Copies of this chain bind each other. A is one copy, B any other.
Amino acid sequence: MTETDSRLALSKSQRAYRWIKERIASQQFTPGYRLVLGTIAAELQMSVVPVREAIRQLEAEGLVTFERNVGAHVSMVDERRYSASMQALSLVEAAAVALAAPELSAADLRRAREINQHMRDGLDHPRGFDPHAFTVLNQEFHATLYRACPNPRLVELVDAEWARLGNMRDSIFAFVPDRARESVTEHDAIVDLIERGAPVTEIEQQMRRHRAGTLQAFLSTTHPDQTVTLPEL
Taking Cβ atoms with an 8 Å cutoff, the residues of A that contact B are 6, 11, 13, 49, 52-53, 56-61, 68-69, 81, 84-85, 87-88, 91-92, 95, 98-99, 150-154, 157, 200-201, 204, 231-233
Contacts and interface: CB of A to CB of B under 8 A. Distances in A.
A84 B153 contact: yes
Counting every copy of the chain, the complex holds: 2
Contacts of A153: 81, 84-85, 87-88
B57 A231 contact: no
Contacts of A56: 13, 53, 56-57, 60
A200 B60 contact: no
Contact of A157 (B11, B53, B157): B157
B233 A68 contact: no
A84 B154 contact: yes
A88 B53 CA distance: 28
Contacts of A6: 68-69
A189 B53 CA distance: 46
Contacts of A60: 56-58, 60-61
